[in-house]
Structure 1
Amino acid sequence: MTLRLSVISASVLLALTTHSIAFADDSAFEVIEVTGHHEGSYSSVSTDSSTPQVDISGLLEQLPGAAVNGNGPLTGIAQYRGLYGDRVNTQVNGVTLASAGPNAMDTPLSYASLVNSERLEMTRGIAPVSAGTDTIGGSVKVIESQASFDEISGKVAAQYQDNGQRSHLGAKTNIANQDHALLVYGDLLKGSENTTSGSGNEIAPTTYDKNIFGGQYRFNLGDSGNESIAIGYQHLETTEAGTPALPMDIDFIRSDRVKLEGIHALSSWELNWHLAYSDAKHGMDNFSQRMKMPSMNARYNNADSASFDGAISVGKDTWLFGIDSQLSQHNSVISDPTMAMFNVDNFNDVQDDTYSAFAQWQQDINQWNWQLGARVKHYMTDAGEVSHSMAEMMPAIKMLMTQFNNADRTQSQTGVDLVLNGRYQVNSELSWIFGLARKQASASYQQRYLWVPMQSTGGLADGRTYVGQMDLELETAYQLELGADFSSDKLTISPRVFLHRIDDYIQGVPATDPAVKMAAMMMGDDNPMQFANVDAELFGMDLAAAYQLNDSWSLDMNASYVSGERRDIEDNLYRISPPKVILGVNYKSNNWLARVEGLGVSAQDKVSKTQFEQRTAGYGLMNISVAYDADSWMLKAGVNNLFDTEYEDHLAGYNRVMGGDLSPGERMPGTGMNAWLSGEYRF
């Protein structure tokens, strides 16, 4: 506790005494913006200003309060203030589409193109109801380039990282006249070798091969260019990508996504709408990229999903109204390539549908800006009957299968979100922030319909087997936010404190069903878990700040602290980000830019006893970078983890691979020293 509090206390004291932070326009590295718009405060980081990324989820580390649960190089799950997974509304190009993998190997952020993404944006604090359907854990949006009229432009970008021999080549171009606009883009990403930790241990498997190609055509409906209709398409293909914190690795992910959208002016109202569809297929196994011990059975999982996202909103002055829906279907079948008769329905014909409507009002009243919103959501879920080829030989499995198939698997629930956000403008430099909300969220399909003990948990990566519970109650969160925004000619500082009190929080608890325990023991787990409703509380703070020393030098900082606890028993919540602080020194002169960055992460000893979570020690890292930014091109180089520090990333899970440098069950280490080079040409 002493170390944890000292890190945060020191970071806050440093911000208040030395006034450290960099303006967005003054640095080309890890840019953090804190600003206000119609939907509320947000933080964002530009892909152009960041160090090289394998997956865009890596940018989250630069945003106050945000973190990444990393199960592999391409498998980053967004975490915000201790909440993660489906609780964080995640949109790519304004769309929420379902992943195919039951263990979140193809996370929502993994579908974002690096070359076509302009920035990663996160709502700061309590997300407004207009930000998305389920925002109990905040809202993350990848803002992508759109086809633009009267413009011919493009970019070619490349990067190389020495640790893991990782490379990326991307290109995009926009060709348009007054009435027609066409945008096309593509990414080629490859990790040729496994990465190594600071002590030289190989982190295996962490190789990958990923390609993304897409485009958008836009047609102008009016003279001003403010009314248009567009259609976009994206194809993604990933092969042989490692996920060492999960029981299987990616054999392939193949998806096609289509989006039709429009913007129209109706008198003094603005109408926005979109229809999007995704079809994804996913194969994974436990033998092609990792050692399979002779006592282990070979397993292959074929999964697929089809999903639809539709939305329409109309806005005028202070009012915004909208309706939307997200519909998805999931299947997952487990087989054994060495035993043709073995076949298990992991998930069969699972339907996971949501329909919702919202109204939002925002108005300046004297020195206050008030935002009020309400959203009504209706959840409908169902699942088909399941089968297991070993049921006749294993009574426990047959009992679980029969119970599941005989149950009423159809679930229907209605939730309501209420949000009040206020901003009091003290003067031109200082604003006070106040937020209050009641939000609800439904269980994931894994939490409801995982019928036999398995690790298909949406990426928990705790090494435990789970079963679901069909009649889980909606999570209900009561949220409070207090903070301030101060911005002068040189100093910008934005602290926040928050409290989330969540009733019926869904997490694993020890299973008590004898059939579940017996089935788990046959698979080598003496302590299976079952998803259940418990009571939880999260509280903490985060801070972003920037200070311009002079025309060339600036400082920046962000710090985060969150604590998550059970309220029904004495225990902590699982996989909560440790306290951390990032301090940066930036230099800019003419076309030259440079940055020195220090990252300090505290020990995390507030861990979940229920899920046998291991503690991690604190650590510090140093990163350096330099860039030359000309009118049409830019070249950047740097070194991350300059001193080759060995450390454990608390959010990276546990090693599940045998026969390598890391022991099974060992905490996943972070990447060692990594030299990198990137460049881009713009026209």
Structure 2
Amino acid sequence: MISIIARRLSRCALLACGCTIPTLPIPAYAADVQAPTQEELITVNAARHRINSADTTDLLRNDLGFSAYSAGGISALPVLNGMADDRIATFIDGMRLSAGCPNHMNPAMSYIDPDAVSSASAIAGITSVKDGGDSTGGTISITRKAPVFSKSSKLLITGEARGTYRSNGGGSGASGSITVANDWISLRYTGSYAHASNYHTGGTERQVLSTSYLTFNHAVILGIKHETQTFTLTAGQQDTPYEGFPNQYMDLTNNRSTFVNGKYTNTFHWGTVEANAFWQRVSHAMNMLSDKGGHSETEGMPMNTDQRTAGYSLKSTIQLSASHTIGIGSAFEHNGLNDWWPPLLASMMMGPNTFHNINHGHRNHLGHYAEWNAHWTSRLSTELGLRSDIIMMNTGPVSPYSWVGMMNMADAMAAKRFNTLDRRRTDYNFDITALAHWNASDMFSIEGGYARKTRSPNLYERYAWGRGAMTMQMIGWFGDGNGYVGNPNLTPEIANTISTTLHWHDKSGQLWELQFQPYFTYTHHYINVTPLTTLSNGRRTLIFANHDAQSYGINNNAFIQLWNTDHYGKAVFHAHLNWVRGQDLVTHAGLYQQMPANGSLRFQEAYGAWSAYTELTLVKKKSTVDLLRGEPHTPGYALLDFGGTYHWRAFTLEGSIENLMNQHYFLPLGGLSFGDYDHTGFLSPLPGLGRSFNLSLSAKF
């Protein structure tokens, strides 16, 4: 295989140098784009109307158990069955990524543009051991569009482009790709741009400060295939010059990510092999944008982080017989982090030295798994998986802005204590997954099981050491304005989940469907908080601590095809409902940022080149909150969206009206609106987006 690739790459090098190859094929342009079917129009419509922003998280909005913390315009933090952020294993093309920021302003899904995504899936609660360890909430997998190859030896040139506009906040975006390929090698470039100013609320049309953003994405994808083998190499860079965070004291003032990801797959007579290797570097800066007072050498509070991630994963599936397979795998991820805060000129508190928050910290994760899948009969199958994970963490000595002076005394004393500690921590974790699937009839199936999932603390939960009020307030990805300090003595949290999914459908699986999914999770050593002091603005300082907790809920999904005729096209009605309740068994308070009961009703119709949808989103008032963190209650609300799509040859025009009735509402997981605090003088929950007219035009060639 290597020699074949080498010979073919040599030929490509000759072409790049302008050498003439007598057998050079005539290019074939992919100009004859087929019109989509009614089924495809409905599928595209269902996905597209959710992408009114540049946040890839929106792709998962109607998945079972999914919700999101509202943060920056491209940086919402995912939640599955009430478990959020680092409790979820998030993969982008097989790369497991995590936020490298004390406020988690650069989560994994912020590094890929929605238009570059081929598939996005969220599996809550019980996940296979091959889908990653060191997580308790589930797994999110985002897959980039695969390389395209020509069906013959002719040269294929194809691409697509899309432009978007959103009236609320003046949001605009553009994305495009171009591919040059033959039958064995493919080269694609993708690029995107997204920008928005501050958006306005519904009703009062008040501007919500610190909600603007600007971001650019570039990637080059090389694909090579030979018989059953495929190799994909992706390299890219993201630049985000600024991004406002309305529920944080800080904003993002620069974020640059550079990555390389290689993937190899092969199929043998005995099974399959998949190998990934990846590297990423993130340079991240925070300060305060103009909404919060600007940033310069004498204003704000500069904070910098540098994160490097590298790792591999190996997965193999071995076919033991026609009905039994064994999966085995190994993975390693290194996460190195430097977090330092440069001194602010002329400041007595933030200087004269650099504040070292995480100094050469690292978190290494080595995992192995074995999984047995068995099909006992045509109707009964089982899955049993075991996984071990070793988490190795450490960090270097730290330092405050100053070792002397009253203003820095708390931090200076905390740094001295921290530096005397043995900071090495190694956790030996193991997971179990046991699942059974039974097709009771042609119209009913049931799947249920048990999972033991373990997660170790992240670097900030263990090693954030500052004890000054200001420095603690700079730590926290929760949008609540509280201050946080780490706890080196934290132990891993262990989630025990039982869940079942009842699935009714017609015999064809095309006319109607109903899914009903109850679950219960008991988490031993859940990483929550214990209060320390009360701040002048009424918020608190909190230290991370292990408590026991429980959460339970029900997820529901349903659809029915209303009609499918030549005269009226095809119409489908969808219904979606999630409910979760979480409780800390030590404090007896609600777990933080649990989404209240919510659902949606969506009607979609496609006729010829036209398709349209109407969606009603319903959210109950938030009455169960975390009192320790001062989590606000939010009233219930209903939002009505409307949109349509027209396809003509290679062009697709899409339009929508979001929040048609211009409803004023607050985001249940939005935290507090600190962007508005200096202008209003009081803290309120973060308000949601008001009415917006959205337009998109895309083309393929």
TM-score by length of 1: 0.89
- 1:278 corresponds in structure 2 to 280
What is the rounded CA distance, in whole Å, between the counterparts of 1:263 and 1:287 in structure 2? Answer: 45
- 2:27 corresponds in structure 1 to none
| 1:17-56 alignment runs, 5 A limit | 25=40, 27-28=42-43, 31=46, 46=47, 48=48, 50-56=50-56
1:343 aligns with 2:354: yes
- 1:469 corresponds in structure 2 to 487
Residues 426 and 457 (structure 1), Cα distance of their counterparts in 2 relative to 1, 3 Å cut: farther
What is the rounded CA distance, in whole Å, between the counterparts of 2:626 and 2:451 in structure 1? Answer: 27
- 2:332 corresponds in structure 1 to 325
1:415 aligns with 2:436: no
Residues 647 and 24 (structure 1), Cα distance of their counterparts in 2 relative to 1, 3 Å cut: farther
- Answer yes or no: is the 8 Å Cα contact 1:203–1:661 preserved in 2: no
SS at match of 1:528: strand
SS at match of 2:600: strand
1:650 aligns with 2:668: yes
Residues 492 and 526 (structure 1), Cα distance of their counterparts in 2 relative to 1, 3 Å cut: closer
- 2:384 corresponds in structure 1 to 372
Deviation at 1:49, TM superposition (A): 6.1
| 1:491-530 alignment runs, 5 A limit | 491-511=512-532, 527-530=540-543
- Answer yes or no: is the 8 Å Cα contact 1:114–1:187 preserved in 2: no
- 1:438 corresponds in structure 2 to 452
SS at match of 2:414: helix
Q: Which amino acid aligns with 1:351?
A: H
- 1:315 corresponds in structure 2 to 317
Q: Which has the larger radius of gyration?
A: 2
Residues 324 and 456 (structure 1), Cα distance of their counterparts in 2 relative to 1, 3 Å cut: farther
Residues 215 and 316 (structure 1), Cα distance of their counterparts in 2 relative to 1, 3 Å cut: same
> Which of 533, 546, 571 matches 1:533?
546
Q: Which amino acid aligns with 2:331?
A: D
Query: What is the CA RMSD across the aligned residues, in angstroms?
Result: 2.1
Residues 316 and 586 (structure 1), Cα distance of their counterparts in 2 relative to 1, 3 Å cut: same
- 1:667 corresponds in structure 2 to 685
Deviation at 1:267, TM superposition (A): 4.6
Residues 61 and 456 (structure 1), Cα distance of their counterparts in 2 relative to 1, 3 Å cut: farther
Deviation at 1:660, TM superposition (A): 6.0
Q: How many residues in Structure 1 have an aligned counterpart in Structure 2?
A: 634
Deviation at 1:53, TM superposition (A): 2.5
What is the rounded CA distance, in whole Å, between the counterparts of 1:109 and 1:306 in structure 2? Answer: 17
> Which of 361, 368, 372 matches 1:361?
372
Q: Which amino acid aligns with 2:543?
A: Q
> Which of 158, 166, 169 matches 1:161?
166
Q: Which amino acid aligns with 1:549?
A: L
Deviation at 1:287, TM superposition (A): 4.9
Q: Which amino acid aligns with 1:484?
A: L
What is the rounded CA distance, in whole Å, between the counterparts of 1:405 and 1:273 in structure 2? Answer: 40
Deviates more, 1:139-148 or 1:401-410: 139-148
Residues 128 and 662 (structure 1), Cα distance of their counterparts in 2 relative to 1, 3 Å cut: farther
- 2:252 corresponds in structure 1 to 250
Q: Which amino acid aligns with 1:621?
A: L
What is the rounded CA distance, in whole Å, between the counterparts of 1:402 and 1:464 in structure 2? Answer: 24
- 1:18 corresponds in structure 2 to none
| 1:600-611 alignment runs, 5 A limit | 600-611=618-629
What is the rounded CA distance, in whole Å, between the counterparts of 1:87 and 1:386 in structure 2? Answer: 27
Residues 257 and 198 (structure 1), Cα distance of their counterparts in 2 relative to 1, 3 Å cut: farther
- Answer yes or no: is the 8 Å Cα contact 1:171–1:186 preserved in 2: yes
Residues 24 and 249 (structure 1), Cα distance of their counterparts in 2 relative to 1, 3 Å cut: farther
1:614 aligns with 2:621: no
- 2:17 corresponds in structure 1 to none
- Answer yes or no: is the 8 Å Cα contact 1:235–1:256 preserved in 2: yes
What is the rounded CA distance, in whole Å, between the counterparts of 2:43 and 2:146 in structure 1? Answer: 23
SS at match of 1:149: coil
SS at match of 2:521: strand
- Answer yes or no: is the 8 Å Cα contact 1:546–1:555 preserved in 2: yes
What is the rounded CA distance, in whole Å, between the counterparts of 1:194 and 1:600 in structure 2? Answer: 22
- 2:400 corresponds in structure 1 to 388
Deviation at 1:447, TM superposition (A): 0.4
Deviation at 1:457, TM superposition (A): 4.3
SS at match of 2:135: coil
Residues 133 and 152 (structure 1), Cα distance of their counterparts in 2 relative to 1, 3 Å cut: farther
What is the rounded CA distance, in whole Å, between the counterparts of 1:401 and 1:588 in structure 2? Answer: 63
1:562 aligns with 2:575: no
Deviates more, 1:671-680 or 1:193-202: 193-202
What is the rounded CA distance, in whole Å, between the counterparts of 2:267 and 2:674 in structure 1? Answer: 54
| 1:201-240 alignment runs, 5 A limit | 201-220=206-225, 222=226, 224=227, 226-240=228-242
Give unpaired runs (5+ residues) of structure 2.
1-37, 151-155, 320-324, 565-569
What is the rounded CA distance, in whole Å, between the counterparts of 2:139 and 2:584 in structure 1? Answer: 24
- Answer yes or no: is the 8 Å Cα contact 2:590–2:626 preserved in 1: yes
- Answer yes or no: is the 8 Å Cα contact 1:334–1:343 preserved in 2: yes
What is the rounded CA distance, in whole Å, between the counterparts of 1:53 and 1:288 in structure 2? Answer: 22
1:104 aligns with 2:104: yes
Deviation at 1:145, TM superposition (A): 0.6
Q: Which amino acid aligns with 2:578?
A: S
SS at match of 2:675: coil
Residues 432 and 585 (structure 1), Cα distance of their counterparts in 2 relative to 1, 3 Å cut: same
Note the alpha carbon deviations across 1:571-620, whole angstroms, 9 max, x for none: 11011111101001111111110101001100111001111111111000
Deviation at 1:486, TM superposition (A): 1.7
- 2:11 corresponds in structure 1 to none
Note the alpha carbon deviations across 1:157-189, whole angstroms, 9 max, x for none: 111100000011000122211221112100011
Residues 347 and 665 (structure 1), Cα distance of their counterparts in 2 relative to 1, 3 Å cut: farther
Q: Which amino acid aligns with 1:257?
A: F
Residues 334 and 247 (structure 1), Cα distance of their counterparts in 2 relative to 1, 3 Å cut: same
Q: Which amino acid aligns with 2:211?
A: T
Deviates more, 1:156-165 or 1:427-436: 427-436
Deviation at 1:104, TM superposition (A): 0.8
TM-score by length of 2: 0.87
What is the rounded CA distance, in whole Å, between the counterparts of 1:84 and 1:404 in structure 2? Answer: 28
Note the alpha carbon deviations across 1:435-455, whole angstroms, 9 max, x for none: 211111101111000101423
SS at match of 2:669: helix
Q: Which amino acid aligns with 1:335?
A: P
What is the rounded CA distance, in whole Å, between the counterparts of 1:113 and 1:447 in structure 2? Answer: 29
1:588 aligns with 2:606: yes
Residues 524 and 608 (structure 1), Cα distance of their counterparts in 2 relative to 1, 3 Å cut: closer
- 2:463 corresponds in structure 1 to 449
Q: Which amino acid aligns with 1:435?
A: G
Q: Which amino acid aligns with 1:485?
A: H
- Answer yes or no: is the 8 Å Cα contact 1:75–1:243 preserved in 2: no
Q: Which amino acid aligns with 1:510?
A: P
Task: Calculate percent identity across the aligned residue pairs.
Answer: 21
Note the alpha carbon deviations across 1:303-353, whole angstroms, 9 max, x for none: 110111210111123121110011111111123433361421121111111
- 1:241 corresponds in structure 2 to 243
Note the alpha carbon deviations across 1:142-168, whole angstroms, 9 max, x for none: 121122322543211111100000011
Deviation at 1:433, TM superposition (A): 1.5
Deviates more, 1:329-338 or 1:304-313: 329-338
Residues 198 and 446 (structure 1), Cα distance of their counterparts in 2 relative to 1, 3 Å cut: farther
- Answer yes or no: is the 8 Å Cα contact 1:423–1:432 preserved in 2: yes
What is the rounded CA distance, in whole Å, between the counterparts of 1:343 and 1:68 in structure 2? Answer: 34
Deviation at 1:456, TM superposition (A): 4.7
